[in-house]
Structure formats: structure tokens, C-alpha cells
């Protein structure tokens, strides 16, 4: 058996996430308590009682999702369950870096508090949106987006999730118009996402620059042998990587989870465990028809795998 742990990104959040783990496992409780202490926020209350509008805000969502994933991961670790690989979707990469021994958990919380704040606030004041395009090859999506770019409008591919799903990001009006064109081009569906910014695009250049300054202050470690896959280019992290450079660029470049899927296939990974709220990443595994078992762990009963 070759296993990978997968950690979800923004949009997977829901009120009450992780509460059953907090109530039943001391390991999970310690994670939420550390998140509160490290960030000087009531992350626990946000996860358990936050309403949809609160949780949709980038400054809250990123921290809440990562904390929940790390809390559940702590319980899985306590049971001796391990994986050779790890990958996250956007902010989920920070949780993967913690699991891989490259980033201390306390630093992860502090960084995601800053990252979420910058990504929400250091962006030109316009109306933005993101949408998942399903059933259309990414090259066709790139063609449609290029047409809008040539016309001076802002819509670009932001997340390459798997072969037949790519998320587009940009100005709301351009997203709406491009959605019509993409359906005409053959997309089965175009689904608006529960996000509030033009993530993984050039609109976040200021956020990227500010975050780089904070990343430079963090001491990254050499890792513990887990192979953590980068969103940026699908390569595997090493202790000699320039983490500040990679993670700041991560904000303004597309997420290439499709490349992680290729690594899983090439290296014979056959057990995929998504840890945290939602089931989107196991959905990508199933849609890509990778051989093996895909499991989502977001509630206590999911631990029986």
C-alpha cells in the first residue's frame, strides 16, 4: 500500500467542522487551543459556531479549514496511521508542510492568519468571483480566457484540479460572460464557488509581496521524509527549497493539483485520504479514475477506514 494524505482548500468550510473531534479527542483539542493562542483569535468558536458569511471571509476561512484539518490529522497520527505522500489544495499545502515536517504548527497558524488577511484586503477594490468549469479540457478553457484577456477583461484559469475540471478566477462580470462561452464550448457545468477573491491571479501581487516579508521571518525545517507535492509546479519539496519564494508565488500562480495526480499515478499511490472539511479532493481522485481507495475523513465515524 502507498498512501497520500490530502488537505482541502477554501470553499470546503462549514459551521460545526471538527467539533466532534474536539469533544472526543485531547489531541484535537490541543490543536484548536494552539490555534487560538498563536493567532489571538477564537478559531474554535469560528469553526464550531461561525455562520456562512463569517466562514466565507478569506481571513477566517483559511485559518478555520487548516485548523480543522490539523486537528483531525492529530487524531489520525495518534492511531499510528501514516502516509508517504502529502498534498494540499492551495491553503491545504500549509497543512501538508506541517505533516511533512517542514513547518511548525504554530508558524502555520500565524502565517495563515496573515495570508488570509492579505488575500482578502490587499486586492484592487472590484467585484470578483471564481467558478469551477466541469467537463471541458483545460486547453479550451485557456483559449476562452485568452480571448477575454485580449479584450482587456480579467478572467484566468486558477486551479487545475483534474483533467476535466479547472477553476477560473477574475472579475465577476468577466466570469459570468466567460461562463456562457465555456458552456457553448462544451462545458457540462460551470459552478460558482464559495470564495470571495480572485485567488491565484495577478490581482494578488501586493498580497504576495507583503506575505513574502513574513515568510522570510519563519524558520523552515528539513522535513521528515514525507514527500510533499508543490501546488506551484508539481515537484516535491526538499529542505533546500526557498520556501518564502515558493509560497509567496503560490498566491499569484495557478494551483496545479493535476500534476500531483500524475505523480500519484506514476508512483503507484493507491490510498488517498482527504483530511478536513469537504470531499472535493477525493472527488478529483475518483473523477480522474485513479486506481485504489479514496477516503474522506471529516467526522469521527469516517475514522473507520
The residues assigned a catalytic role are 90, 200
Q: Name the β-bridge partners of 194.
A: none
Sequence-distant (6+) residues with CB within 8 A of 266 are: none
Strands, sheet with 189-192, edge to edge from the N-terminal-most edge strand: 155-162, 165-171, 128-134, 189-192
Residue 46 and residue 64: Cα distance in Å, rounded?
7
- Using DSSP, state whether 34 is helix, strand or coil: helix
Query: What's the gap between Cα 37 and its chain centre?
Result: 23
Q: How many CB atoms lie within 10 A of CB 86?
A: 27
184's CB contacts (< 8 A; 6+ apart) are none
Task: Find the length of the chain.
Answer: 305
DSSP-assigned states of every residue in 106-169: HHHHHHHHHHHHHHHHSS-SS-EEEEEEESS-HHHHHHHHHHHHHTT--EEEEEEEETTEEEEE
Amino acid at each position: 500500500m502507498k498512501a497520500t494524505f490530502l488537505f482541502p482548500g477554501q470553499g470546503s468550510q462549514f459551521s460545526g467542522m471538527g467539533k466532534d473531534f474536539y469533544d472526543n479527542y485531547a489531541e484535537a483539542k490541543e490543536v484548536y487551543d494552539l490555534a487560538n493562542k498563536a493567532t489571538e483569535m477564537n478559531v474554535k468558536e469560528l469553526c464550531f459556531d461561525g455562520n456562512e458569511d463569517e466562514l466565507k471571509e478569506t481571513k477566517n476561512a483559511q485559518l478555520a479549514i487548516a485548523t480543522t484539518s490539523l486537528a483531525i490529522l492529530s487524531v489520525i497520527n495518534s492511531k499510528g496511521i501514516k502516509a508517504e505522500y502529502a498534498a494540499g489544495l492551495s491553503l491545504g499545502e500549509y497543512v501538508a508542510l506541517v505533516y511533512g515536517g517542514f513547518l511548525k504548527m504554530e508558524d502555520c497558524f500565524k502565517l495563515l492568519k496573515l495570508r488570509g488577511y492579505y488575500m482578502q484586503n490587499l486586492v484592487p477594490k472590484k467585484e470578483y468571483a471564481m467558478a469551477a468549469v466541469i467537463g471541458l479540457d483545460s486547453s479550451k478553457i485557456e483559449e476562452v480566457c485568452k480571448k477575454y484577456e485580449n479584450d482587456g477583461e480579467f478572467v484566468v484559469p486558477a486551479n487545475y484540479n483534474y483533467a476535466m475540471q479547472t477553476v477560473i478566477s477574475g472579475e465577476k462580470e468577466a466570469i459570468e460572460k466567460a461562463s456562457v462561452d465555456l458552456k457553448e464550448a462544451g462545458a457540462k457545468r460551470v459552478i460558482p464557488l464559495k470564495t470571495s477573491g480572485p485567488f491565484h491571479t495577478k490581482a494578488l501581487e501586493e498580497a504576495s509581496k507583503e506575505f513574502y516579508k513574513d515568510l522570510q521571518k519563519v524558520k523552515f525545517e528539513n522535513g521528515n521524509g514525507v514527500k510533499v507535492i508543490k501546488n506551484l509546479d508539481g515537484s516535491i519539496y526538499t529542505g533546500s527549497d526557498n520556501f518564502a519564494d515558493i509560497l509567496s508565488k503560490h498566491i499569484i500562480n495557478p494551483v496545479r493539483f493535476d500534476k500531483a495526480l500524475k505523480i500519484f499515478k506514476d508512483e503507484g499511490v493507491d490510498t488517498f485520504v482527504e483530511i478536513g472539511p469537504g470531499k472535493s479532493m477525493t472527488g478529483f481522485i475518483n473523477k480522474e479514475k485513479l486506481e485504489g481507495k479514496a477516503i474522506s475523513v471529516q467526522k469521527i465515524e469516517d475514522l473507520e477506514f
